[in-house]
Amino acid sequence: MSGVLYICPTPLGNLGDMTQRSLDALRAASVVYAEDTRVTGKLLSLFDIHTSVQRCDEASIQARAGEVLERVLAGETVAYCSDAGMPGVSDPGQRLIAAAREAGAPVEVLPGGTAVATAYVASGFTCPRFYFGGFFPRKEGERERVLQGLAALDAVLLFYESPRRAGEALQAIAHAFPHRRVALCRELTKAHEEVFVDIAPQVAQEILRRTEAGEMRGECVIVIDAPNDEERADVHANAAQDAASRAAELLAEGTHTRKDITKALQSEYGLKRNEAYAIVLEAGA
């Protein structure tokens, strides 16, 4: 007898988004493992489902994964739910799925809504590529490293963030990408859903104001538009300026040819050969 682990998406906030396939799986399961038993228990009660619910969150997933998979391999139908949306997207579900794949336990992932895809579409940003970075880093240095590493990526960037830290996160984003548009998506699919779109510094200023006034509520998705022409021009101008300083340093050492310095500028600053050579000539004038 073959069991199965159902990965069941649940609504982000609006109960009307609950899929029939998830309801069928939850009713068929002998047990439901959940990131939060209170949240999932309430959801099951609203749909008149009386399946037993067991906790399987970040703190217990390592200990409980073996138990879950033993039940599946023994022939049971087991379901897993996160707090909201698609399990496995920045929650413990991904580790459970990975363990099931490794153990050869059957897994069926049911389709459903995610805050990532909903926010990406709601932003109105038209770049056809996006990058999801999970939860935005909390530490300042890590934030800077992450944003610098993604600066040249030609894609929309998405991060989860709590309402308490959204203002600080947006401030870091505004510092890194002052020319980009940003969407702050809050309370998606709920009665007070908001998608606030503006240039990064304006969004940061407004959300910091709300935070200080105690007006920020609901989980957030931050959506950062792809690089625009103004940003590219700014980056190029800074690179050219830094290249000029570097060229002057290398010329002053007196041990490098103009050809060598041109190649170095091309490599270090991503400049075209003609532009790099022009900078070397000007620095040596």
Average pLDDT over residues 75-100: 92
Residue 285 has pLDDT above 70, yes or no: no
Q: How many CB atoms lie within 10 A of CB 138?
A: 12
Residue 233 has pLDDT above 80, yes or no: no
Q: Where are the beta strands (DSSP E) in the chain?
A: 4-7, 31-34, 53-55, 77-81, 107-109, 130-135, 156-161, 181-186, 194-199, 220-224
Higher pLDDT, 237 or 155: 155
Residue 32 has pLDDT above 80, yes or no: yes
Average pLDDT over residues 201-224: 95
Q: What are φ and ψ of residue 224, in 5° steps? A: -110, 125
Average pLDDT of the chain is 91
Query: Percentage of the chain with pLDDT > 70?
Result: 99
Report the interhelical angle of 273-283 vs 229-253 (nearest 10°).
50
Specify the pLDDT at position 1. Answer: 57
DSSP string, 3-16: -EEEE--B-SS-GG
The DSSP H or E segment spanning 144 is: helix 140-150
Specify the pLDDT at position 179. Answer: 92
Higher pLDDT, 37 or 238: 37
Residue 111 has pLDDT above 60, yes or no: yes
DSSP string, 106-117: -EEEPP---HHH
Per-residue DSSP letter, 195? E
Q: What confidence tens digit (pLDDT) does each residue in 16-29 have?
A: 999 999 999 999 99
Specify the pLDDT at position 159. Answer: 98
Confidence of residue 282 (pLDDT cuts 50, 70, 90): confident
Question: What token pair was written down for 30?
Answer: 């002998």
